Structure 1
Amino acid sequence: MPAIKVDEISKFIGSEVFDDFGRSLGTLIAVESDIDGKVSSIIVKSEDLSLDVIEGERVKVSDDKVTVTPEWKFEILQVIENLDRAYKRRKAIENISSRNDLPAVVVEPMKRKLEDEIKALKLKADEVKKVVNSRIGEIDDESLKVARAIATIGISYFSGEISERGYTQSMNHLRKLQDSLSEEKKAAKDLLDKLDKVVQLASEGEVQKAVQPQPSTTTQSPVAAGPNAQQTMVVKIEA
């Protein structure tokens, strides 16, 4: 994700900030930037509760609004991108190595370094999976709360306890929240599937090494002596 410059985002100060799923995170209060103008973080006022400092890496400007990528999504996208790049570099090194254009003393250290990086990325992938699965669990809990609220407001409306206007306004908010949660859960599961695929691709070289057949050694089976076969006796004479 390219870094945003302060000039691009400063005009949105005082406007609402949204996440990738259309939910309002609050109002943009201030923008922090480095000397080169790249946004290092933004400060968002969450309703009337607190100020949140959000890393500039997760911020983008699109469709005339400021959008923030949720932390879990940002992390899994980074791991997917890095693993995909590692897989392509491994294929490139294998291609170079197969041509024998360069001495092994040059290529082998590159291979070892890349293998170490892939191992570290796979460990990071395991950590990120836990974070994303935890978020899916939270989404399920929130979805149950929304379902309960929908049932409660429905009972109140059909029993004549609240007006149609109140019912409609409440349901609009609840349905919008329900849609956002469903969209986020789908995105989380799709990205988990994608992560599994790139981990598998990045592990291809390791799998091939593990199943590489060992050179076979053939032993000549002794020929059974027939009834007419002559037997040779070897006598060892000690000096």
Structure 2
Amino acid sequence: MMKRFLFTAAFTAALVWQIPTISATCHDNMIWNSESEAQEVNNTFFRSRAMLKMHAKELGIDIKGKDEQTLASEVYESMLVRAAKELNIELEGKSKDELTEEIHHERVIKKAVELDIETDGKTPDAIAQEVYEIIMKQKAIELGVSVQGKDFEAIETEVKNAALTKRAEELGIMTEGKDVQQIKKEIYEAQVIQSAEQLDIEIENKDVEQILDEIITDHYEQAKELQMYPFNHARS
């Protein structure tokens, strides 16, 4: 149950901030996050007290005396309400699951319109699949990944790897001989440390979570104004 909650919460966060994570696969929650990617997002955004604190601040939620699960639940509910209002979706009488599904569908349709995709006579899943494939191919072109003669699965894998390598290189991270999870971990840590250094935060003898908490607790306004990590997380 907790896994399902965290997955839905991470997916909804992606919808609210419209994060087109390129490592997604089409599933019942398509376009922005696969279940595996959602769990990865959870590790940063919902299993991190510091990230929960950031989202709570953005949503005007009091964090005092609340454990992680309670706070995550409140953040998730507030995200749902905000997203629904932005899309003019009626809230009354609907469960969280119903709202999540409706928000997802509206986001998909909106993106399909932007991409000039014909939606008449197509199921929501078919529309989402088409949207996702176009987004992935656009990302392939952006990253210089050839799509000629490749099936979609191969394109997706190459795009994910190219994007990860590009971000690592931007941060001065060597990728040779490292698996994907290790590279992602190093990217996350490097982004936090980079922000701390720009904010003149002392990082010695502190772990990444402690540093991130200090950024959000003591330097929230400055980091947000300058779009430092984690406030620039949409690029990830």
- Give the TM interval when normalised to the shorter protein: under 0.3
Under a length normalisation based on structure 1, what TM-score does the superposition of the two structures give?
Answer: 0.21
Bigger relative contact order, structure 1 or 2 (CA pairs below 8 A, ≥6 apart): 2
Structure (1/2) with the larger strand percentage: 1
Structure (1/2) with the larger helix percentage: 2
